[in-house]
Structure 1
């Protein structure tokens, strides 16, 4: 015969296991959603390259692909979405609309989550090459020139009007379980003058 204390601990254990599995499921869902979204975005990007504009990757999307970011040294290949909003960044890196259009003169800013699409930023090294492909099919290269930690409200991204500059930004620190930190990891890359092969 089980004592009331044993029954209590058994029920507590079942509850704790249920909550644990639920939390694991929630965490896995974030990665599954990000991966599935990139597949749908790749398909939408192919159609964009074929001439369709403002193509939504799924019917209820409020964003569309604007560029493709690759980092050959790290095997990164991601579709960049228009807008840097929470609902956009859940599916891929986002283009900050107040910055220069991707590929044009000025500073183009891309943002992404530190635990999914922009987790690779911590592995970038000085002089690593980044390549952006645009809707017209052209490619432009960038070289990493600076990596630093900045404060979300006290520091700003150095903007330029001349030349091409790419800023990649994510929350920092990378391994923190806390969301909404006040720190950002900023990677600045300079546009290359030679064409991309």
Structure 2
């Protein structure tokens, strides 16, 4: 009897752990669908539209067309915001403005695509006010979380996408992957 219970218990634990992992990815996917709708309405109407009552405001859409990646960015980078999408780090510039706009997200959900972005790739950012900016990825680095090398006083319009490193790690660590891009065009 104990020989039968052990495999059943292990199978049940495995199913629970798999379900927990699948839930995280399903929540991230559904949140992006709802955020995309709210973002499109914000751009169309000029009004702030939230996908649900307590959600942070969607502020931008990031697209890397070469690899078919896109994500809606939320205002702020709290743990709650990052559960649903990339976050715009407060006290950094808005995309397209002078200075560095910094967006951060989890490596296993919304910024999973960063592993496939190559130097020279075009990154399109559309803000919720409808302004569109095109950046070119020009460098990447792995840095400690407290030593990013990001210059907040940059004179040009720059973009940084940041996530945890290494991409395949299970536990969090002190290193971050930083993808830097420079503004090359605008639809203004």
Aligned to 2:30: 36
1:181 corresponds to which residue?
Answer: 173
Greater Cα offset, 84-93 or 164-173: 84-93
Would you say 1:15 and 2:6 are equivalent positions?
A: no
For 1:53, the equivalent position in structure 2 comes to: 47
Q: CA RMSD in A?
A: 1.5
Bigger Rg over Cα: 1
Deviations 1:94-137 (A, max 9, x none): 10011112221110000010011101111111110001001221
Deviation at 1:196, TM superposition (A): 4.7
State how 1:48-197 maps to structure 2 within 5 Å. 48-61=42-55, 63-178=56-171, 180-192=172-184, 194-196=185-187
**Superposition deviation, residue 52 in structure 1:** 4.5
Inter-partner Cα distance in structure 2 for 1:159 and 1:125:
24
How far apart are the structure 2 equivalents of 1:105 and 1:155? Answer: 19
Give CA-to-partner distance per residue, 1:154-180, whole Å, 9 cap, x none.
4432333422000100000001111x2
Deviation for aligned residue 1:34 = 0.6
Q: Which residue of 2 aligns with 1:3?
A: none
Query: Which segments of 5 or more consecutive residues in structure 1 lack a partner in the other structure?
Result: 1-6
Query: 1: distance between equivalents of 2:57 and 2:142?
Result: 29
Q: Provide the residue aligned with 1:4 in structure 2.
A: none
Contact 2:50 2:57 (8 Å CA) reproduced: yes
**TM-fit CA distance, 1:186:** 0.4
* Number of equivalent positions: 188
1:26 paired with 2:20, answer yes
Ranges in structure 2 where 5+ consecutive residues have no aligned partner: none
CA distance in 1, matches of 2:14, 2:134: 44
Could you tell me the TM-score, scaled by structure 1's length?
A: 0.90
- Normalised by the length of structure 2, the TM-score is 0.94
